[in-house]
């Protein structure tokens, strides 16, 4: 058979190196095809013009002297007058044939061999021969079997009945003997394929079966060794091993092997070295590795930690951790960082809440103290507010008693007296209720309050004080209700503090100029506003922020807490308390609260 490759000659040469490859087996052998693939791939990679010829000697099936003579004559006729540059031989029989007969069809052509365990001992190695030595490592394979199956006691070496098979048996017996690597060695041959299958089926799971080659069985039936090995291995009770990479199709567990594709590539590299003038190099030994089929590892229950670290594993499906270890580590790191951040935020939030609780408690305490202070300031007017209704009640009661004793009682007049007593009593009760609210300490409830009502009730509470201070207070309520969410007592405390501050600011003015204007209105974005304006000297622009700080006061006897507490109470409801820098006269305090 002739296969011609006109490879890679960009602007190619008119001359090309010619290579003749002699394969000892037929073209359908898997090992033959893999070696051919390796040779072709390496020559194509080199990008040179090469004419490649291939001959399949099939010496296993056509090995008689007559067959040999016909083959020699065929090659002589075919290649005489067609000069060759390299002769590549695949397999030991092809190498022996070339050494003995090349002068008849390829005289003086250098030889590159491959797929042989060693150069024939009975033939001197010519200086123009080089190649790739393969160990087809029987010893290494049994040592690998010992590692994978530490409890196994017996190993069976299986070979066919063809001359090559018998040669393999003798080689294995020489290398292994009757005991090797802790195994008792049995040699199985001289059977039909069915006989081999029956014997393999009977092997225990804690033993080892090493299949070498079966080119033919005892009945003379020829086989492709890989196919015969596969059919035997399928029925085997013991794990199956091999020294050939081409056997690994799902039925072989492991072996210490080199690939046939690599053998072909190395043979082609040696041929190219010849073409480049490098001469024949000493034969090189092919690198072999522990080859393991993961499917058989799983099927046979082999522990993962028994597999050598440098082994090549076929059909292995890595776990998600093995495939995505780095992304998983990064992802877990991000998650851990996020978890720590979340935990830190939760702790910080809890700490902030505790701090807010402390601040809220302190604000309530200060507000309560401030109300005490305000009530102390109003004690005189509050006493006057209570004295008036009590005095009126006493006067009405005495008048009613006189009318009753006179004997000419006018029921209508007595009814009016009782009405006055009830009204005065209610007035006194309201004063006392407001006083109790101002003095009460405890939880603060928030409710819907009309800002207009809060303004009116506060002015009513402080009216007597303003009269005593000879200060006029006017109100300008908004035409519509202005509902806010607030606590009435706290809101009254804020308004009361602003009114008292306004009155204090005008203490040095003549009574007729002491005027306080209180107004409510609808602000921007629906906000509610209450303003307290006075006619005093006002506040310097650089002091408008300072006066809200604790212990800052413009009064000689002031503590500087009233405005700070008032702002705190307003801000606690989402509002603001500031002084209007645009006021043209005196000072104008502005309370802004969100809509209720």
Flag whether 179 is in a domain: yes
Residue 367: band (very low, low, confident or very high) from pLDDT cuts 50, 70, 90? low
Q: What's the CA gap between 325 and 328, in Å, rounded?
A: 5
- The answer to whether residues 584 and 463 belong to one domain is yes
pLDDT digits (tens, 9 = 90+) for 437-448: 555 555 567 889
CB 271 within 8 A of CB 19: yes
Strands 240-241 and 183-188: unpaired
- The answer to whether residues 116 and 142 belong to one domain is no
What pLDDT sits at residue 155?
A: 97
- The answer to whether residues 87 and 161 belong to one domain is no
Q: In this prediction, what percent of the chain has a pLDDT beyond 70?
A: 82
Q: Which helix (H) or strand (E) holds 113?
A: strand 111-116
Q: How many CB atoms lie within 10 A of CB 338?
A: 10
- The answer to whether residues 450 and 594 belong to one domain is yes
- CA geometry: angle 245, 284, 93, nearest 5 deg: 65
Q: What's the CA gap between 79 and 83, in Å, rounded?
A: 7
Tell me: pLDDT of 377 over 70: no
Residue 366: band (very low, low, confident or very high) from pLDDT cuts 50, 70, 90? low
Q: What's the CA gap between 245 and 290, in Å, rounded?
A: 10
- The answer to whether residues 106 and 174 belong to one domain is no
Residue 281 per-residue DSSP state: P
- Look at residues 99, 116, 133 and tell me which one is the last residue of a structural domain: 133
Q: What's the CA gap between 350 and 197, in Å, rounded?
A: 76
pLDDT digits (tens, 9 = 90+) for 236-267: 999 999 999 889 888 999 999 988 999 999 99
278-283: which pairs have CB atoms within 8 A and are 24 or more residues apart?
280/110, 280/127, 280/128, 280/129, 280/130, 281/130, 282/130, 283/113, 283/119, 283/130, 283/131, 283/132, 283/133
Q: How many CB atoms lie within 10 A of CB 249?
A: 14
pLDDT digits (tens, 9 = 90+) for 457-471: 888 878 877 888 889
What pLDDT sits at residue 524?
A: 87
Tell me: pLDDT of 378 over 70: no
- The answer to whether residues 150 and 243 belong to one domain is yes
Flag whether 427 is in a domain: no
Helix, strand, coil percentages, rounded to 5, for the chain: 50, 15, 35
Residue 362: band (very low, low, confident or very high) from pLDDT cuts 50, 70, 90? low
- The answer to whether residues 45 and 192 belong to one domain is no
Tell me: pLDDT of 347 over 60: yes
Strands 111-116 and 86-90: parallel
- The answer to whether residues 126 and 144 belong to one domain is no
Tell me: pLDDT of 2 over 50: no
What pLDDT sits at residue 376?
A: 54
Q: What's the CA gap between 89 and 508, in Å, rounded?
A: 126
Whole domain around residue 495: which residue ranges?
446-596
Q: What's the CA gap between 60 and 102, in Å, rounded?
A: 20
pLDDT digits (tens, 9 = 90+) for 23-58: 999 898 888 999 999 999 999 998 888 999 999 999
Tell me: pLDDT of 8 over 50: no
Tell me: pLDDT of 381 over 80: no
Residue 435: band (very low, low, confident or very high) from pLDDT cuts 50, 70, 90? low
Q: Between 256 and 383, whose confidence is greater?
A: 256
Domain count, the chain: 3
Query: Residue 484 is part of a domain; what is its CATH number?
Result: 3.30.565.10
What pLDDT sits at residue 219?
A: 95
pLDDT average, residue stretch 410-435? 65
- The answer to whether residues 129 and 145 belong to one domain is no
Flag whether 330 is in a domain: no
If phi > 0 it is left, if psi is from -120 to 50 it is alpha, else beta; for residue 302 that is beta
Flag whether 396 is in a domain: no
For residue 27, give the nearest of 115, 119, 90 by alpha carbon.
90
- The answer to whether residues 83 and 121 belong to one domain is yes
Flag whether 56 is in a domain: yes
pLDDT digits (tens, 9 = 90+) for 184-236: 999 999 999 999 999 999 999 999 999 999 999 999 999 999 999 999 999 99
Query: Residue 212 is part of a domain; what is its CATH number?
Result: 3.40.50.2300
Flag whether 476 is in a domain: yes
* Helices 30-46, 260-275: inter-axial angle, 10-degree rounding: 40
- Of 120-124, 159-163, 320-324, 336-340, the poorest mean pLDDT is in 320-324
- The answer to whether residues 187 and 60 belong to one domain is no
What pLDDT sits at residue 328?
A: 83
DSSP 90-109: ESHHHHHHHHHHHHHHSTT-
Residue 11: band (very low, low, confident or very high) from pLDDT cuts 50, 70, 90? very low
CB 233 within 8 A of CB 211: yes
- The answer to whether residues 104 and 163 belong to one domain is no
Beta-carbon contacts of residue 468 (< 8 Å; ≥ 6 apart): 380, 381, 384
- Of 184-193, 511-520, 565-574, the poorest mean pLDDT is in 565-574
The mean of the pLDDT values for the chain is 84
- Look at residues 133, 153, 180 and tell me which one is the last residue of a structural domain: 133
Flag whether 515 is in a domain: yes
- Look at residues 100, 133, 166 and tell me which one is the last residue of a structural domain: 133
For residue 417, give the nearest of 429, 399, 405, 390 by alpha carbon.
399
**268-290 as b/e: b if 16+ CB within 10 A:** bbbbbbbeeeeebeebeebebbb
Q: Between 386 and 588, whose confidence is greater?
A: 588
What pLDDT sits at residue 121?
A: 78
Residue 118: band (very low, low, confident or very high) from pLDDT cuts 50, 70, 90? confident
Tell me: pLDDT of 383 over 60: no
**219-241 as b/e: b if 16+ CB within 10 A:** eeeebbbbbbbbbbbebbebbbb
What pLDDT sits at residue 493?
A: 80
Flag whether 491 is in a domain: yes
């Amino acid at each position: 058979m002739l296969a011609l490759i006109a490879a890679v000659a960009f602007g190619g040469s008119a001359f090309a190196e010619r290579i003749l490859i002699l394969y000892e087996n037929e073209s359908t052998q898997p090992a033959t095809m893999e070696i051919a693939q390796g040779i072709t791939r390496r020559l194509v990679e080199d990008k040179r013009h090469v004419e490649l010829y291939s001959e399949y000697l099939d010496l296993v099936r056509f090995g008689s002297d007559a067959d040999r003579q016909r083959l020699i004559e065929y090659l002589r006729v075919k290649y005489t007058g067609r000069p060759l540059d390299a002769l590549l031989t695949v397999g030991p029989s092809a190498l022996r044939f070339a050494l003995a007969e090349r002068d008849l069809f390829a005289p003086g052509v250098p030889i590159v061999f491959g797929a042989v365990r060693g150069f024939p001992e009975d033939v001197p190695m010519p200086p123009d021969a080089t190649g790739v030595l393969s160990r087809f490592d029987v010893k290494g394979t049994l040592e690998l079997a010992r590692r994978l199956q530490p409890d196994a006691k017996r190993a069976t070496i299986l070979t066919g009945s063809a001359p090559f098979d018998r040669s393999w048996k003798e080689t294995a017996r020489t290398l292994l003997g009757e005991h090797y690597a802790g195994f008792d060695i049995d040699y199985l041959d001289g059977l039909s394929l069915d006989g081999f299958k029956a014997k393999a089926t009977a092997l225990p799971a804690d033993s080892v079966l090493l299949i070498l080659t079966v080119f033919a069985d005892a009945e003379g039936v020829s086989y492709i060794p890989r196919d015969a090995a596969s059919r035997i291995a399928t029925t085997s009770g013991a794990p199956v091993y091999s020294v050939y990479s081409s056997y690994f199709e799902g039925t072989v567990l492991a072996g210490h092997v080199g690939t046939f594709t690599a053998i072909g590539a190395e043979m082609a590299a040696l041929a190219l070295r010849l073409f480049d003038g490098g001469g024949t190099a000493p034969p090189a030994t092919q690198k072999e590795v522990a080859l393991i089929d993961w499917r058989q590892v799983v099927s046979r229950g082999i522990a993962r930690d028994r597999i050598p670290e440098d082994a090549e594993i076929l059909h292995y499906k890595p776990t998600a951790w093995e495939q995505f270890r780095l992304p998983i580590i990064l992802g877990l790191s991000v998650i851990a960082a996020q978890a720590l951040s979340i935990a830190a935020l939760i702790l910080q939030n809890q700490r902030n809440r505790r701090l807010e609780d402390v601040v809220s408690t302190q604000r309530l305490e200060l507000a309560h103290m401030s109300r005490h202070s305000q009530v102390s300031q109003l004690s005189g007017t509050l006493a006057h507010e209570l004295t008036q209704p009590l005095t009126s009640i006493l006067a009405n009661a005495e008048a009613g008693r006189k009318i009753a004793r006179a004997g000419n009682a006018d029921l209508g007049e007595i009814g009016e007296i009782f009405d006055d007593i009830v009204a005065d009593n209610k007035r006194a009760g309201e004063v006392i209720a407001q006083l109790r609210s101002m003095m009460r300490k405890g939880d603060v409830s928030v409710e819907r309050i009309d800002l207009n009502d809060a303004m009116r009730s506060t002015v009513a509470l402080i009216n007597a004080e303003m009269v005593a201070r000879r200060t006029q207070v006017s109100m300008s309520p908004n035409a519509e209700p202005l509902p806010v969410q607030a606590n009435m007592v706290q809101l009254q405390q804020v308004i009361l503090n602003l009114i008292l501050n306004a009155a204090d600011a005008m203490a040095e003015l003549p009574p007729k100029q002491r005027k306080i204007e209180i107004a409510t209105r609808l602000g921007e974005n629906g906000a509610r506003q209450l303003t307290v304006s006075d006619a005093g000297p006002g506040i310097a622009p650089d002091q408008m922020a300072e006066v809200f700080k604790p212990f800052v006061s413009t009064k000689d006897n002031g503590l500087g807490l009233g405005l700070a507490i008032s702002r705190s109470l307003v801000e606690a409801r989402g509002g603001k308390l500031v002084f209007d820098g645009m006021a043209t006269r005196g000072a104008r305090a502005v309370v802004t609260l969100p809509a209720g």
